[in-house]
Amino acid sequence: MMNPFRRRPLLIAALAAVCLTPAAQAAPVVWDSPLSIVLGYAPGGSSDRVARIVADKLQAKLKVAVVVENKTGAGGRLAAQQVKAAPAGKNVLMLANPAVMVVAPLVFKDSGYDPERDFVPVSQVNNYEFALAVSTAVPVRELNHLVAWLRANPEKANFGVPATGSLPHFFALMTGEKAQVKAQVIGYRGSAPLMTDLIGGQVPVAFDTFDTVLPQHESGKLRILAISSDKRSPMAPGIPTFKEAGLNLVATGWNTFFAPTSMPQDKVQALAQAITEVMQDPDTQRKFADAKMNPVVATQAQTQAMLKDFQKQWAPVVQRSGFQP
């Protein structure tokens, strides 16, 4: 008869083998209802294009309907408030940018949500750089020449931005600090009127997202002197970065998916994995490139690290500005 104490190691080994089999691991998430992707911007913009490219791919991967909801209003804050209040059983993500998740909580006394308490980062899916552009009436073609010209003509040191309190607004302040140029930042009601005034010479310098300014640069209606990424863009390799042009400055914006904290952790992890795989898909990468957008493949951990670094870079600039909406 076998000693029962000798059987125990065999029993433990057998149990361990069972526990390590796929069937005994966490059951796969069942998507029994549609997934909503909420964003705070109107159809047709860059954030909307990002949401719809990813939604189409997620729908095929998860085998469930994925619906994009454009909840406009209050600069994206209404969308955040809606997703924050989602019940645990609702399959919902928010696609948000720094204006919603970093700037608004710093400048509004009550934005109606707390990014760290009410949301869980899921996956960053793209980033975008900023461009400094000048009117063709400005007699400079390089950034260091512009800095010298602004110092010599302080009354012309006006920086146009698409909106007061936008990321280009704070990047303009960042640039002024780094260049030691005191400039007046002029907020417009969108990129279209800003580009009109820049091309017409009513404002000498403008800051906006690179993809917004590039078509006008390519048509010769204005000149981009530098972009804020850490390397040149393949879309316009002839344009230098700020670092190459003489200012040690790197800054980008982003679009990132967030889940409400009410969502079960297994669903959050499953969505993070699915979005990472979607962003690795060559067809997804092509669709982003066709839309002149930079795709990003990022795990949940990488996304969390990016957000911490971004907060460290931008929060002091926003707070020093004293900006109040």
pLDDT at position 26 is 58
Q: What is the mean pLDDT of residues 83-109?
A: 94
The CATH code for residues 128-245 is 3.40.190.10
* CATH 3.40.190.150 correct for 35-127+253-321: yes
Mean pLDDT of the chain: 91
Q: Domain residues of the chain, as ranges?
A: 35-127+253-321, 128-245
Average pLDDT over residues 69-79: 92
What's the confidence (pLDDT) of residue 325? 80
- What tens digit of pLDDT does each residue of 42-70 get? 888 889 999 999 999 999 999 999 999 99
The predicted model scores a pTM of 0.83
CA angle 64, 65, 71 (to 5 degrees): 140
pLDDT-derived band at 228, boundaries 50, 70, 90:
very high
Pairing between β-strand 205-209 and β-strand 158-161 as defined by DSSP bridges: parallel
pLDDT tens digits for range 298-318:
999 999 999 999 999 999 999
- Among residues of the chain, what percentage have pLDDT more than 90? 79
Q: Does 120 or 322 have the greater pLDDT score? A: 120
Specify the DSSP class assigned to residue 159.
E
Q: Which residue has the higher pLDDT, 123 or 291?
A: 123
Tens digit of pLDDT for each residue in 258-267? 999 999 999 9
pLDDT in tens, 1-50: 445 444 445 444 444 444 444 444 557 888 989 999 999 988 888 899 99
- Helix boundaries (H) for 67-156: 77-84, 98, 104-107, 115-118, 143-152
Whole-angstrom distance, CA of residue 258 vs CA of residue 276: 13
- Top pLDDT among 52 and 73 is at 52
Q: Which two tokens stand for residue 62?
A: 């998860």
| Residues 50, 45, 199, 314, Cα dihedral to 10° | -60
Q: Is 128-245 the same fold as 35-127+253-321? A: yes
The pLDDT of residue 25: 52
Task: Using the predicted structure, report yes or no on whether residue 109 has a pLDDT greater than 90.
Answer: no
Contact 135, 161 (CB under 8 A): no
Where residue 238 falls among pLDDT bands split at 50, 70, 90?
Answer: very high
pLDDT(84) > 50? yes
Q: For 166-178, write each residue's pLDDT tens digit.
A: 899 999 999 999 9
pLDDT of residue 4: 44
CB 289 within 8 A of CB 279: no
Q: For 136-149, what is each residue's pLDDT tens digit? A: 999 999 999 999 99
Query: For residue 110, what are the contacts with CB-CB under 8 A and spacing of at least 6?
Result: none
User: Cβ-count burial of 30 within 10 angstroms (0-12 exposed, 13-18 middle, 19+ buried)?
Assistant: exposed
Residue spans of beta strands (DSSP E) within 228-296: 252-260, 294-295
